[in-house]
Amino acid sequence: MAQAPTTIVDELGIALANLADAATGTFTPTLRLGVTGLSRAGKTIFITALIHNLLTGGRLPGFSPMADGRFIGAQLAEYPDATIPRFAYEQHLAALTGQTPTWPESTRRISQLRLVLKYQSANWLAGWRGPATLNLDIVDYPGEWLLDLPLLSLSFAEWSREALERANRTASSREATPFLEILASIDPQKPGTDTDAEKLAASFTRYLRQSREDNAMSTLPPGRFLLPGDLEGSPALTFAPLPPATQPVRSTSLYAMLEGRYEAYKAQVVRPFFKDHFARLDRQVVLVDTLRALNSGPAAVADLETALTAVLSCFRQGDSNSLTRLVSRRIDRILFAATKADHVHHTSHDRLEAILNRLVANASRRARFAGAETRSLALAGIRATREGSLLEAGEVLPTIVGTPMPGEVLDGTSYDGNTEIALFPGDLPEHPDSLFEDSTPVSLNFLRFVPPQKLDRNAGGDMVLPHIRFDRALDFLIGDKLA
């Protein structure tokens, strides 16, 4: 799928926005880091951990500026765009570090935050001038919204055909049946009414959300139907796919009404998101909840691969330098991260990374061809478990130890959120291709765990957030800019 198309007006607007960014960053360079991932991938946790570790000088031995003693510190700063909500760092940190720690609420809209980083350059000449600074702008947005970008190149008829083909697949039959039954009862050529439009849109939305929740399906545009943000309940989200028109479409028909709303959705929602936010990124983190798809079976794994390929094809990728960034930003580094690495034993982390590499292989090849660097990691922004071992039938099994969240169920046991257990999570397959070939899900004991209940403190008295490979992720994303 090709990169999301832009008009000459779009490109002019993007160039002007980049020039404005450059003008405000004349004395302090700015790096815009986008963080995204599909539902439950851990975006909020990742960003909260990133900010907290930089503000407090966390335990990041793999982050070269800190390991070399060149990282001086970080401060929160006022974000220059007053129209964008601020990432609620303090509230999310309070949820994680309170008397009864809880996971913060998931990303439901775009938000941003600026950190000013101060460091000593490793370059002798630059270091002679004294400490340097870098503005790190973190842009948080739902991955579901990225699913909309490919719509910019699809007509209503083309999108309807793809959406109905997806709804009629065997894997979607149970969730899609109520919507398809309502669709079959309505004549698209009848006069369009809000009642029919709302009925179809509500049923279509329920089908999309159930497919995501029950089957871990990922390729489910329009993304705002899953996470509407400020558009919830608006006419912009009141349309649905329709069968191909078999006769000329009357301007007053339901078909014409829904087609018009679809085009308005692209023009008023999708294109501004691409132009105002997405096209102005320098670096990108793509968080992937690989384990959830593995638990749901080959259909969910294949669908996740399709979604990642489609989403990443919309990135403006390529090598970047100070001159080209004046008018056209390019994402020159992309980190693919398999989150929740603390839900499997470290002996399975190599296999988890191999599975992630298989899922993003097409997208990664395209990015490298365009000139962008890519890397894949299995990580946990905040580690909720520790490791142990369990003797069972004379065999020592590697385990993870943690407290399942209230309501989690395993082997008929429902947990109350207070009971710590040792769990053998199962073995990930040695060959990732088998995930696309076998008809049964991988046998994993996958539970959600509460956040760590007791946190260490550093010499300055700040909470230390335990993690897995978060320092390596940070080094890849911004380490070179602090060299």
Q: Is residue 116 part of a domain?
A: yes
Full DSSP string of 293-339: HHHH-HHHHHHHHHHHHHHHTTS-BS---TTGGGT---B-EEEEEE-
Of the residues 234, 269, 304, the one at which a domain ends: 269
- For residue 33, pLDDT beyond 90: yes
Same-domain pairing of 93 and 201? no
Same domain for 252 and 314, yes or no, is no
Same domain, 126 and 18: yes
pLDDT digits (tens, 9 = 90+) for 214-265: 777 777 789 889 888 778 878 889 999 999 998 899 999 999 999 999 999 9
Q: What is the separation of C-alpha 254 from the centre of its chain, rounded to a whole number of angstroms?
A: 35
Q: Which residues contact 251 (CB under 8 A, 6 or more apart)?
A: none
Mean pLDDT, range 32-41, rounded to an integer? 86
83 and 99 in one domain?
A: yes
Q: Using the 3D structure, point to which of 269, 301, 332 is the last residue of a domain.
A: 269
282 and 345, same domain (yes or no): yes
Q: Is residue 243 part of a domain?
A: yes
Number of residues that make up the chain: 483
Q: Does one domain contain both 131 and 202?
A: no
The 3-state DSSP class for residue 281 equals coil
For 50, 306, 332, 364, the CA distances from 369, given in Å and listed in that order, are: 29, 19, 11, 9
Neighbours of 85 (CB within 10 A): 14
Residue 473 belongs to domain with CATH number:
3.40.50.300
Residue 403 resides in a domain: no
- pTM beyond 0.85: the answer is yes
**Mean pLDDT across 267-275:** 88
Question: Do 26 and 276 contact (CB within 8 A), yes or no?
Answer: no
pLDDT interval class at 2 (50, 70, 90)? very low
Q: Can you tell me the mean pLDDT for 403-410?
A: 94
Give the β-pairing of 111-119 and 132-140.
antiparallel
User: Considering the domain boundaries, does residue 427 fall inside one?
Assistant: no
132, 120 contact by CB (below 8 A): yes
Task: Find the domain containing 54 and state its range.
Answer: 8-141+277-383+467-482
Distance CA 455, CA 437 (A): 42
Contacts of 268 (CB under 8 A, 6+ apart): 236
Q: Give me the pLDDT at residue 327, please.
A: 46
Same domain? 101 vs 167: no
Confidence of residue 123 (pLDDT cuts 50, 70, 90): confident
* Cα angle 222, 224, 226; round to 5: 90
**In this structure, are 259 and 161 located in the same domain?**
yes
Residue 303 lies in a domain: yes
Confidence of residue 317 (pLDDT cuts 50, 70, 90): confident
Of the residues 269, 286, 311, which one is the last residue of a structural domain? Answer: 269
Is 369 in the same domain as 330?
A: yes
Residue 183 pLDDT exceeds 90: yes
How many domains does the chain contain in total?
Answer: 2
Asked if the model's pLDDT at residue 116 lies above 60, the reply is yes
